[in-house]
Amino acid sequence: MAEKRYNNTRKKADPVDLGVGKMPPQALELEEAVLGAMLLEKDAFINVSEILKSDCFYKEAHQHIFEAITNLFSREQPVDILTVTEELRRMSKLDEVGGAFYITQLTGRVASAAHIEYHSRIIYQKFLQREMIRISGVIQTKAFDDTEDVNDLLEEAENSLFMLSQGSMKRDAVQINPVISEAIENIKKASQRTDGLSGVPSGFTELDRITSGWQASDMVVIAARPAMGKTAFVLSMARNMAVKYKQGVAVFSLEMANVQLVNRLIVSETELNADKIKNGRLEPYEWEQLDHKIKSLIDAPLFVMIRPDYPSLSCALKRDASKSNTISKSSSLTTFN
């Protein structure tokens, strides 16, 4: 199935002032070559559609031609000069693209269809450049407007660029052989474990028996009504993984400051009264207990991070989680609270 590289239902790009003498990034000759190759090679569209959508083409006529080819392919009809010309006529776009003569001309632009995927990637890069220019132009215009909320504008900029970057992430298909080898290796590793788990243990025996430990790439949702102990449960698991099993854990919270999160961990680890920890009213022996037991948390591969300006799990937060070098290299589990 063709990969959806970018949201094709987005609003039409607003024109951006590039300055005198500047043209938007484009590769018209490659656009012609790619379209021409799709008219000549029946399998070319499959490779191209995994990379490009119609709005990736700079020239509007080329967008219409690509849409016509897409329509034919989706209806499992043959793609050639005649069928594309007829489809454009049905779409009332034939004259707009330059008529049947221009469609015929495109096939003469093809030197070889062997490099169509490489050419498509260049076209997509030009599209990304244009989108970054458009986004930055919109943000720049709004930044000059004193009525715009700065935090909202920052989130808009981050979200726009995040969505653009997500669209540019290609997920290639892989041959099954190396995946089987990896699976067999995981089975061998699991067989050597005495706890019977294949993933990261949570420290809760019954839960681990059901899940076999938290598995790589799994997303687990812990849901309950407010004040039912969700955060306490997650922090307990995080503590067990980091302190007891030495597994890296990253905790992201949109509800608490990092000091509040750490205070809850300290209370759990030291078994001291939460109010005493909060107010600092500890007896001398309790200070000693705090100093002694806190060492396990200090040495644990545990990370906390907050984004207080965001009311919900934003694209910016997910971006931070995936791109933070310290966290990504050291963490086996990432939790969002």
Cα angle value 119/138/96 (rounded, 5°): 50
- How far apart (Å, rounded) are the C-alpha atoms in residues 290 and 271? 9
Give, for 86, the enclosing helix (H) or strand (E).
helix 81-90
First to last CA, the chain: 35
In degrees rounded to 5, what are phi and psi of residue 93? -125, 0
DSSP string computed for 123-135: HHHHHHHHHHHHH
Rounded to whole angstroms, what are the CA distances from 152 to 149, 157, 226, 255, 260?
Answer: 5, 9, 27, 19, 26
Distance from chain centroid for Cα 48: 22
Report d(CA 133, CA 30) in Å as an integer: 21
The type of residue at 146 is D
User: Measured between alpha carbons, how far is 36 from 202 in angstroms, rounded to an integer?
Assistant: 56
Q: For residue 241, give the nearest of 192, 297, 185 by alpha carbon.
A: 297
Q: Quickly count helices (H) and strands (E) in the chain.
A: 16, 3
Contacts of residues 101-110 at CB distance under 8 Å and 24 or more positions apart, as own/partner, are: 102/61, 103/39, 103/65, 106/32, 106/35, 106/36, 106/39, 106/65, 107/36, 107/39, 107/40, 107/81, 108/36, 109/29, 109/32, 109/33, 109/36, 110/33, 110/36, 110/37, 110/40
- Let me know if 182 is a catalytic residue: no
- Determine which one of 182, 255, 283, 288 is catalytic: 255
Catalytic residues: 255
